[in-house]
A and B are shown apart, each in its own frame.
Chain A
Amino acid sequence: MKSIAELEQIRKKTLDEISLRTNKNVLRVVVGMATCGIAAGARPVMNAFLEELKKRNISDVSVTMTGCIGVCRLEPVVEVINPDGEKVTYVKMTAEKAVRVVAEHIVNGRVCSDLTIGAEEG
């Protein structure tokens, strides 16, 4: 290592990798992964989120799992919760829809209204 710039580079890169541990308020993607969710295909959905976030080099989003939210018929259910606690619930998710949610909601801040529980039930 010959420069401070190099040090800074390593710092930024590693910080991204471990940002999960800093436990700060980040946007959270919560995938319902109870039996119902897994049976309905929640795992490919979660993997799609991880893949897409990785592709776009987004590290300040945490992808976590939760149990059954209670609307098993609408699984896979994914909730996107922003740092101030506002929650959007997406239902009947697929891997393709997950990619869309990353692009539109997480990157550009536009909720994919047509995929939400309101659209499905309303």
Chain B
Amino acid sequence: MQLYRAHVLVCGGTGCTSSNSEKIIKELDVQLAANKLDSEVKVVKTGCFGLCAEGPIVVVYPEGAMYTMVKVEDIKEIVGEHLLKGRIVKRLLAGDKEHTDITKSLEGVGFFQRQMRVALRNCGVINPEIIDEYIAYDGYKALAKVLTEMSPEQVIDTVKKSGLRGRGGAGFPTGLKWEFASKSKDDQKYVCCNADEGDPGAFMDRSVLEGDPHSLIEAMAIAGYAIGSNQGFIYVRAEYPIAVKRLQIAIDQAKEYGLLGNNIFDTGFSFDLEIRLGAGAFVCGEETALMTSIEGKRGEPRPRPPFPAVKGLWNKPTILNNVETYANIPVIFLKGPEWFASLGTEKSKGTKVFAVGGKINNTGLVEIPMGTTLREIVYDIGGGIPNGKKFKAAQTGGPSGGCIPASLIDTPIDYDSLIQIGSMMGSGGLIVMDEDTCMVDIAKFFLEFTVEESCGKCPPCRIGTKRMLEILERITDGKGQDDDIGKLEVLAKNIKASALCGLGQTAPNPVLSTLKYFKDEYMSHVRDRKCPAGVCKSMMQYVINAERCKSCGICAKVCPANCISGEKKVPYVINQEKCLKCGACMEKCPFKAIFKNV
């Protein structure tokens, strides 16, 4: 055994990889070798730590010192100072840069203090490409326990008792789903995993796939045992190349260790897993469309019933769970269903991972017990809104969800309270919006997405959402008609009631929830032809304040449309007919003489 005196963990998640963590690892190797430290210090590539806004992240153990926004050039200093001389490089430590503590460790960072990591327990802790590290943290122990000590009925009972509900969005009780499939009689059954994370802004499944792929494999094998299946499929979107690669490595390693394949743990139970790549259609995240796509057909949904538990993949009984749902399974068996059920609220047990983005300081992944309030997520964990702006709303559930206005910021986040206020948990994207966000524009954004992604099979979704979008475009163009809001409401209700699949049924939600809480904003667009947030370009103008203008001419120079004119000692003016409303002039004006007129 090689004993190292220090481990340097570098985040290899997609976020940090795109900000050069691969180069950081290479530079670490170079610098460590140059200082002859390569036999004393080990470099470990891990999954996502969750604090993506501060990436790339490097953590040095045993001190647990967390360096953030590390650049390749900083590595020489980290190696030369910290690893060679034992002096922590304070200027790179997480959080407030002028912190005076000698060590600011991972656990000491506010972002992590309020979190509780169950599904993400190994992300940022282990090297996901080494199965032994997963095993070290009790990996595959749950599978061993299940196969040797429990009957399939007991397994299902345990999941039911834990109260785990599907983390993909709808929140269906997982144990119940497994029970239905186990009761279906057939010679072949399938276990599927939905890793086609398509909601804009959601990336928690990617983090599990990249940071802890073995937990998914272990959980799917447990599910296979519970329902009597020997074959699983993971449907993962091809846009996640790192996740796909690590998942394949993990499957290969598990097969090599005999944790997948025939006669696992000598119990006679056999289970195999295969990856299927999604080609980028949002609708393939819908369960029936996903299975149709695995079958090799065009990914279109079909009516339910029959439900997948009865007739799923190739018309065989199938269970389909989301990545995060599976990631909770091994822990439930290790710590017991009672432990899991003690977390969260009465009807929503356990924790939930949110991908927090938008107008918030700590963009990243947070895992919190169910029932945590939105206020805690935004202010205590998320670090509040940048530039001292006011919180206006949060959007949960992506294109299927809705907005939570500032007045409901103390709502506990769980499945039922979110539905009650007209939003939904969704897969866990949480987009924070500040006072500069136009709610009509947001609704339009999500509708554009659903129109683009509608598969076209059923008319309510194909035509209905298109009509809704046209109305929204009219409103944001300042051409709204008096009865537009009423038309939107009627269309929304009808689409919800008649669309074929979940995608269509939930597509009107962003419009309905913004109408519910921000109707006055719609009204001022339609009636007063004004966008209060100053976002909708047709309803605002950039104007130059003649008193403040010093006729320097900078605005005219930066204007891409050449629509600003003037001469020395005469205030400049913007030709509103030609103005593109890009805002470049306002940004560059040294005298703050240009204003947005809404």
Which A residues are closer than 8 A to B by beta carbons?
Answer: 1-4, 7, 10-11, 13-18, 20-21, 23, 26, 28, 30-31, 33-34, 46-47, 50, 53-54, 57, 59, 62-67
Contact = CB atoms under 8 A, between A and B. Distances in A.
A67 B87 contact: yes
A21 B5 CA distance: 11
Interface of B: 1-7, 9, 40, 61-64, 83-87, 105-107, 125-126, 132-133, 135-141, 144, 148, 257-259, 265-266
A67 B105 CA distance: 19
Nearest to B259: A1
A63 B83 CA distance: 12
A65 B6 CA distance: 10
A21 B64 CA distance: 7
A15 B144 CA distance: 18
Nearest to A49: B5
A59 B4 CA distance: 9
A1 B3 CA distance: 26
Tell me the dominant secondary structure on chain B's binding face. Answer: loop
A20 B61 contact: yes
Contacts of A30: 86
B144 A7 contact: yes
Contacts of B258: 1-2
B1 A3 contact: no
Contacts of A63: 5
Contact of A13 (B1, B40, B64, B138): B1
B199 to A, nearest CB: 32
B226 to A, nearest CB: 19
Contacts of B265: 1-4
B105 A23 contact: yes
A7 B141 contact: yes
A23 B7 CA distance: 11
B266 A11 contact: no
B3 A11 contact: no
A20 B7 CA distance: 7
A4 B144 contact: yes
B94 to A, nearest CB: 15
Contacts of A1: 257-259, 265
A120 to B, nearest CB: 22
B1 A64 contact: no
A81 B257 CA distance: 40
A13 B107 CA distance: 26
Given A11-B135, A18-B136, A33-B84, 15 more contacts: A1-B259, A2-B266, A7-B144, A10-B132, A13-B132, A14-B132, A18-B126, A21-B9, A62-B62, A63-B5, A64-B5, A64-B6, A65-B5, A66-B86, A67-B86
A28 B86 CA distance: 13
Contacts of A46: 5, 40
B86 to A, nearest CB: 3
A34 B140 CA distance: 44
Contacts of A23: 61-62, 64, 105-107
